[in-house]
Amino acid sequence: MFEGSSRLAGRVTRRDRPLSGIFVSAVSDAPAAGDARASTQTDDNGQYAIEGLADGNYQVQLSGG
């Protein structure tokens, strides 16, 4: 579980149309973090937000749709 104060937010679209129900994961690049991952799902407008991330670099992964 992340306990930081950083936030990752955005919008998922295809051909300028929002995609709802897409799983969005943020995976830490820090080797010491192990498999540190946080995830959420996009809303009807394709928007998502992941709160409480520790400062650092993350890979964003999308699945579904």
Rounded Cα distance between 9 and 42, Å, is 10
Please state the domain extents for the chain.
6-63
Structure confidence at residue 1 as a pLDDT band (50, 70, 90): very low
Residue 34 has pLDDT above 80, yes or no: no
pTM, two decimal places: 0.83
The mean pLDDT value for 19-44 works out to 88
Identify whether the C-beta of residue 2 lies closer than 8 Å to the C-beta of residue 54.
yes
Average pLDDT, the chain: 89
The mean pLDDT value for 44-62 works out to 94
The mean pLDDT value for 43-60 works out to 94
